[in-house]
Amino acid sequence: MKITVSNKSVPSSDGSHILKGKVYFPEGEVKGYLHIVHGMTEHIGRYHAFMVKMASRGYIVFGFDNLGHGYTANYKSELGFIAHKKGWELLVKDVEVFSLQIFKEYGDKPYYLMGHSMGSFIVRVAMVTNVSPDKVILCGTGYKNHLSNLGIAYTKILKIFKGDKYVSKFLDKVSIGSYNKKFKEEGHRRSWITSDEKLRKKYDNEKLFNFRFGLSAMQDLITLNKMANSNRFYKNIDYGCKVLLVSGKDDPVGKFGKGIEKIYNKLVKNKVDVQMKLYDGRHEIYTEPRAKDQLINDIDEFLSID
């Protein structure tokens, strides 16, 4: 199937940035929209292969670089910086802003929303505050961090002395620094992300991927995790919205499946129509050789069945 890819620029909710995104159009009948929200310190271009495959299944697939990421950042110095205050709120609002523009241009169709990693936290907050997807896919998501309140307080205090863009090695270590522990014998700091060695080497040379979050962005990440795992999230999900949890069995963000099971059980307890699938693979299951093809099939089946 021929896939047409178009660039799309939409003003951000912050009033000073343009969200830089892409839209993938399939030939023939369209099943619906699939909106992808990317994760921490990456960009939507890294999902190209996945977006092409989903578009070939009949979906208009789209996504954009979040604030502080990719080509949405006005300058290199903005990478890893979202906003001085409540950047998390802007990230959530932009999901609605971009999708409404797509709907306006291409018409009314079923709306499916997918978030990966930090993007899954953004999606979880958005789906109970300002958007109404028909179905949601949460990929590489995580359970609550019991130290979130302490982390938020720490960043607030440190910002006073160091500023919003200061990169704290301590915060970086306690937030994601431990993820590679199980894979450190492989000798690569991003082994936890994917088992695909060629991709890891490619990531090492990617200018829009090799940066770290400053203090304010770290505060936004911790806040999103806290809100995505709050009682408000579990209780306020529209009961007409179906949820698919997908994660790697070796994904440290999901506590190697244990955190995903906790999220699944809480959703079931709150009577949400939810499915859970764990795959052989690490954090980016859509790049995992043993998982990526099955993931495409499972997502397509989940979206296609009423």
Query: Could you give phi then psi for residue 291, rounded to 5 degrees?
Result: -125, -30
For the beta sheet containing 274-279, the strands, ordered from the edge strand earlier in sequence to the opposite edge, are 3-11, 18-26, 59-64, 32-37, 111-116, 135-139, 242-248, 274-279
Give the pLDDT confidence score for residue 177 in this predicted structure: 74
The amino acid that residue 190 corresponds to is R
Q: Has residue 1 got a pLDDT over 80? A: no
CA dist 33 and 31 (Å) reads 7
CA-closest candidate to residue 34, choices 114, 89, 146: 114
Between 195 and 173, where is the model more confident?
A: 195
Helical residues (DSSP H) of the chain, grouped into ranges:
48-55, 87-106, 118-126, 148-162, 169-172, 197-204, 215-228, 231-236, 258-269, 292-304
Average pLDDT of 265-278? 97
Query: Could you give phi then psi for residue 164, rounded to 5 degrees?
Result: -65, -35
Q: Has residue 202 got a pLDDT over 90? A: no
Percent of residues, the chain, with pLDDT higher than 70: 100
Give the pLDDT confidence score for residue 45 in this predicted structure: 95
The amino acid that residue 37 corresponds to is V
Name 32's bridge partners: 59
Query: Mind listing the pLDDT tens digit for each residue in 164-186?
Result: 999 998 887 777 878 988 998 78
